[in-house]
Amino acid sequence: MDKMIISRMEYYGRHGVFEEERRLGQRFYVGLELEMDLSAAGLTDDLEQAVNYAEVHETVKSVVEGESVKLIEALAERIASAVLRTYTRVEAATVRVTKPHPPFDIHFEGVTVEIRRSRKREQA
Contacts of 49 (CB under 8 A, 6+ apart): 40, 41
The yes-or-no answer on residue 99 being catalytic is yes
3-state secondary structure of 42: helix
Domain spanning 2-123, CATH architecture: 2-Layer Sandwich (3.30)
- Provide the whole-model pTM: 0.92
pLDDT > 80? residue 115: yes
Cβ atoms 67, 37 nearer than 8 A:
no
CA 111 distance to own-chain centroid: 15
Q: What is the DSSP letter of 26?
A: E
81-107 tens-digit pLDDT: 999 999 999 999 999 999 998 777 777
**Which one from 3, 61, 99, 120 is the annotated catalytic residue?**
99
